[in-house]
Amino acid sequence: MLVVVSDTHSTEGHRLRGRTYSAVREAELVIHAGDFYREPVLDAFSDEARSLRAVYGNNADRPIRDRLPEHRVVEYGGARFAVTHRHRSGDTGLLMFGRERDADVVIHGHSHAPRFDGSGDVALLNPGSHAQPRGNRPAHAELEPVPDGLAGRLVTPDGDVFEEFRIEP
C-alpha cells in the first residue's frame, strides 16, 4: 500500500493518530507532500515509515530544505507520481508540472483540502492534512495495486472512507 500525507505543521512530532498512524506504519511507501514544518517532524515520520519519499513545503525550516527536494517523481504500482507541495499557478500549473514529468498523477498539498480530480489527462491528488485540517476533514490517501492500476481512497484518522477513486496508468 502507498499512503500519502501532507501539511503536518508540527514543531516536534508526526501528529499521526488512528487509521492515519496505522496506515503510515503498514505502508510499503509513504509520500509526504510537504510542510512538516520543523526537522524533528521529518525525523519522526522517518522513524515510523518503512520507506518515505517527501518534498519540502513553503513553511519548512532550513534543515528540511537542506534534506529534501522541492519536487520529485515517484513510481508505484505502475503509476508515475509527480510530487510537489504547491504551484503558484493553481490547478493549471499543477497539470503542467505533471505533464512536464510525464506523470499519471500530481500529488500536492498546501490547501489542506483533501481531493482527487481525475478529469484531466493528469490526475490531481491532495491528501489534505491529517493534523491541521483548517476547516476541512482531516485526511490522508491510501492507494493499493489492483489488476488494472491503483484503487485509491481518502480516509479520515477515524477510519472513515469518504471518497474512492481509481488510477489507470
Q: What are the C-alpha distances in Å from 20 to residues 59, 93, 114, 130, 133?
A: 22, 29, 14, 7, 13
Could you report the per-residue pLDDT of 47-102, keeping only the tens digit for each? Answer: 999 999 999 999 999 999 999 999 999 999 999 999 999 988 999 999 999 999 99
Which class in CATH covers the domain with range 2-167?
alpha beta
Q: In the prediction, which pLDDT does 22 show?
A: 98
The residue extents of the domains of the chain are 2-167
- With 0.95 as the threshold, say if the pTM is over it: yes
* DSSP class per residue in 12-66: SS----HHHHHHHHH-SEEEE-S--BSHHHHHHHHHH-SSEEE---TT--HHHHH
Q: In the prediction, which pLDDT does 87 show?
A: 87
Could you report the per-residue pLDDT of 40-57, keeping only the tens digit for each? Answer: 999 999 999 999 999 999
Give me the mean pLDDT over the 135-142 stretch: 97
